[in-house]
Structure 1
């Protein structure tokens, strides 16, 4: 082995649980279909009716070779007729034979396309969280996303199996199997679990690199497995924390495998990457001293929002309308947090048909939480940078937050008038909290290209199934 004395490293009994094709599985269950056998795709049609693949069942992925992120126009068949699409197939370099065409059309005819229902997915997630609380207290459960998360079973194993002759490794596997069974019985959703009697990192690596390919959909990687399993990971980018850019930088150092990374000189990594390089070295050796029980506290103190527009916006007045709406939405969140912003930033991404670099700009401002002032700053930034072209993605962010009591007046400001405007905005906020965000709106919300009403029906950018979706405004 390498340079690590694992007897001195902390040990926890961790399960990293991933709901298999979560959105697609929930939609299958709602239709009384087997999530592992049905061909189903969750597709959003807000993307100018072209179709954005948000999730798909294992069968859909296997048959059509599509990941959870893709476009309808990449499918090897026509959505309307379910007939083979020669153009898409050739563009993707697929080998076209009569048998292949028959195979694709067979499954295309049997594929279900479901619209996203985020409200439903959240309800199922809450059921799963309650199941997990049967195995560990809430503070020992760490949701990683809507469909995956850690559970620390260190203190729970002895409760479920008190036989001292059975190893903790076996106990962890048995308890995890019970969790899988309970989730499937209650929700119909199958789960994959990465296990570790060492730390969260090894549980995550076990999930990503082995558990998904086993019959039980479970796998355990602990300290004793580092050399045989962690070091055997074939692709550098299959290792947690290593993306394509990091892999290329490691390659330039002569490091092409996880084994080589684990056995190189950490000083060389520190010189190239800083402290992140040393962390990569420890991770390659299976060492992770993070604690699931310690809640994550983000360093970022700003507030922001972004959205993908339902179509290309060509007119500047329409783009500015949406920027103004987002500026107001984030300003409301500022007031809810009792904060003022000292930095305003915007982002605008062009249509895929426009060969222009995205717009990203920011400016320092006097501390404010005023919708009127913040909107003016956002529009000012946009007008300085925008020179034309269709826009498809936009974002607004306020940073450098300070307490709302902090106020700066200039010689040209009227403190009395500013106080009146401030009270009016807080009153409007109170009414919206009580009666809903749409209870008070500008007349521009009725414009064709306004996004206020449409986004009020979304959760996290997707169809809510009846729930509101302007994050942070409720």
Structure 2
């Protein structure tokens, strides 16, 4: 098949397990409801007209035609009154008829809109990871995200299914079905599994492009299926690793399908797209030499924090309060990593009513992890770029790290003052490590614009948890 000898390529028995609508399913199960038949969405800040839909059940998606991520104003009904929203429907170009309005309002009344509970989802994830450990060693399991992950069953197939009359493909399907049942029996959550007797990439492609649409919610793609299945993926953006921007670049090169990508000249792709082009060429031919047992470690590191504000911030001093808090939070993480930053970056996104491009700025600095110094740089960047306008989301990040033992002291620096600040900073960090980040706060944390206390209750930016990366 093609120009590749697949017998020379790595072969493993891989299952890629994905919890179906994980957050929404957990919420349904907790309420004693069927996760596949209940219309439910998990919405952050549902009391806000700009509420963010984090997850939704399969029935919610089917009825309202919405994917997981969206805003409350994207729905064809008002989440407070549950009445049909002509304004929202018109914005989306929906055809409005009495039958459609009645249909939407009936389902809107039956739909549950619930807040996120990140601590609960983490508990369920841990329970599922413990289930997977019944089928493979810890080294054979690679979590991909909170609701999905790879499990290498190469060493487990013959142990669980010793029947020599069955092929490895049949054994992989049987043990994957067993995993699905086990997860459902223990948690009530349905799972989808992409399988491959070849490599992790083909298991992931099987999940995304076929398993989710089959009755048994399982599918196997291996080397022998590359031409018939991988090349038949309908859109470039349905392929792992190809987003809308990469798809446009490929189309600019005259490549409009996965089959055309697989049959392109690899030298041409490398010349036009670099190493990524060559990687996509091999992936389109089903070749992936990644190893579940070797965790990917990025070469370049950065630390950052971002947040969507609960309302439009129009007062510059209020915006600066939040920027300062975020600068401090990331500084703490920087010191915990025993690093100093040589670059500071900010992003300030405007409210949709402004119709303005976001502010993006960065600057190179002398190595530091001092909160006051880094906060000063963050505010300087902001003040140079901001003039006016309602702000809705912000981000602060530090990068280009050196070890925290590295120091540059000029003739104009006061060593005693620097040492005193470092001791104070270290004392505050120690107190926060022991008693939590909010045990020591600046006075402006009590101001209405501050987000420190509120965010101390969050996990990953959502309710029930802690500051991102902070105790």
Task: Sort the TM-score into its range (normalised by shorter chain).
Answer: over 0.9
- Aligned equivalent of 1:380: 380
Q: Which stretch of structure 1 is more off in the superposition, 96-105 or 212-221?
A: 96-105
Shift of 1:91: 2.6
Please, what TM-score do these two structures have when normalized by structure 2? 0.98
- Aligned equivalent of 2:470: 473
- Aligned equivalent of 2:18: 18
Supply the distance in 2 between the matched residues of 1:84 and 1:48 (Cα, whole angstroms): 18
- Aligned equivalent of 1:206: 206
Q: Deviations over 1:281-304 (max 9, x none)?
A: 111111111111111112222211
- Aligned equivalent of 2:114: 114
- Aligned equivalent of 1:52: 52
Supply the distance in 1 between the matched residues of 2:268 and 2:344 (Cα, whole angstroms): 39
Task: Verify: 1:181 aligned to 2:181, yes or no.
Answer: yes
Structure 1 residues 19 and 449, CA, compared in 2 at 3 Å: closer, same or farther? same
Supply the distance in 1 between the matched residues of 2:135 and 2:270 (Cα, whole angstroms): 40
Gaps in structure 1 of 5+ consecutive residues: none
Supply the distance in 2 between the matched residues of 1:278 and 1:413 (Cα, whole angstroms): 50
Count of residues paired in the alignment: 471
Structure 1 residues 472 and 88, CA, compared in 2 at 3 Å: closer, same or farther? closer
Q: Where do residues 33-112 of structure 1 align in structure 2 (5 Å cutoff)?
A: 33-45=33-45, 48-112=48-112
Task: Verify: 1:364 aligned to 2:364, yes or no.
Answer: yes
Q: Deviations over 1:177-218 (max 9, x none)?
A: 111111111111100000000001100000000000111100
Q: Deviations over 1:431-461 (max 9, x none)?
A: 1111111111111000001000010000001
Supply the distance in 1 between the matched residues of 2:204 and 2:32 (Cα, whole angstroms): 31
Q: Which stretch of structure 1 is more off in the superposition, 83-92 or 214-223?
A: 83-92
- Aligned equivalent of 1:266: 266
Q: Aligned with 2:172: secondary structure?
A: helix
Please, what TM-score do these two structures have when normalized by structure 1? 0.97
- Aligned equivalent of 1:224: 224
Shift of 1:119: 0.6
Shift of 1:33: 0.2
- Aligned equivalent of 1:150: 150
Q: Aligned with 2:282: secondary structure?
A: helix
Q: Aligned with 1:251: secondary structure?
A: helix
Shift of 1:99: 2.3
Q: Where do residues 189-204 of structure 1 align in structure 2 (5 Å cutoff)?
A: 189-204=189-204
Supply the distance in 2 between the matched residues of 1:175 and 1:27 (Cα, whole angstroms): 27
Q: Is the Cα contact below 8 Å between 1:2 and 1:262 reproduced in 2?
A: no
Q: Is the Cα contact below 8 Å between 2:16 and 2:207 reproduced in 1?
A: yes
Shift of 1:46: 6.6
Supply the distance in 2 between the matched residues of 1:95 and 1:322 (Cα, whole angstroms): 42
Shift of 1:306: 1.0
- Aligned equivalent of 1:313: 313
Q: Aligned with 1:324: secondary structure?
A: helix
Q: Which stretch of structure 1 is more off in the superposition, 237-246 or 445-454?
A: 237-246
Supply the distance in 1 between the matched residues of 2:48 and 2:102 (Cα, whole angstroms): 30
Supply the distance in 2 between the matched residues of 1:391 and 1:82 (Cα, whole angstroms): 29
Supply the distance in 2 between the matched residues of 1:47 and 1:242 (Cα, whole angstroms): 36
Shift of 1:249: 2.0
Q: Deviations over 1:53-109 (max 9, x none)?
A: 111000000001011111111211222222222222233222223322222122111
Q: Is the Cα contact below 8 Å between 1:47 and 1:311 reproduced in 2?
A: no
Shift of 1:164: 2.1
- Aligned equivalent of 1:7: 7
- Aligned equivalent of 1:304: 304
Shift of 1:252: 2.4
Pairwise CA RMSD: 1.3
Shift of 1:21: 0.4
Gaps in structure 2 of 5+ consecutive residues: none
Shift of 1:386: 1.3
Supply the distance in 2 between the matched residues of 1:363 and 1:98 (Cα, whole angstroms): 57
Q: Is the Cα contact below 8 Å between 1:345 and 1:378 reproduced in 2?
A: yes
Shift of 1:49: 4.3
Shift of 1:47: 8.0
Supply the distance in 2 between the matched residues of 1:338 and 1:184 (Cα, whole angstroms): 43
Task: Verify: 1:331 aligned to 2:331, yes or no.
Answer: yes
